[in-house]
Amino acid sequence: MSDFHRSAPARSYARVALSIGIAALATQLAGCGKKAAVDEELAAALIQPVARIELAAAPAVAAGARKGEDIYASVCGACHDSGAAGAPKAGDKAAWAPRLAQGFDGLVKSAAAGKNAMPPRGGAADLTDGELKRVVAFLANKAGAGFKAPD
């Protein structure tokens, strides 16, 4: 049997190994000459196609199917984890109580339209309505609301 029949994972490991090899080689070359910056660019350029393939192979969750928890971590947490820009912190019951009082639909409306320092949809324009509801429920429930997120 020839090497062409190796399994897909084996091939992608081989690509990673190859890219590491290229990077190591380019780094060594950089060490010899005075043109380190150029060689770093060369290394980056050589690795790029491999990196692109690896990214494309990563399992992507289809838009519309993302979980509230994951959306929170990748989008909303930027402000709501720390309270940046005056955002009510996740889980801060006192900060959320007056907001929860407007009910789930009111909160979803604010999150969709944006409010003061919060851009519409928290800046993630590609969030579907279902995803936005899921993540609003996730965030509000951390502060004690009992909202049922849509599936």
d(C-alpha 81, C-alpha 40), whole Å: 36
Nearer to ligand HEC, 26 or 121 (CB): 121
Q: How far is CA 134 from CA 31, 44, 47, 107, in A?
A: 52, 39, 38, 12
Q: Does 17 bind ligand HEC (CB under 6 A)?
A: no
* Nearer to ligand HEC (CB atom), residue 26 or residue 87: 87
Distance CA 141, CA 69 (A): 11
Q: For the window 61-90, what string marks contact with ligand HEC as x by the rule CB under 6 A? A: ----------x---xx-xxx----xxxx--
**Dihedral angle sign, alpha carbons of residues 114, 118, 119, 124:** negative
Contacting positions for ligand HEC (CB under 6 A)? 71, 75-76, 78-80, 85-88, 99, 107, 110-111, 115-118, 121-124, 135-136, 139
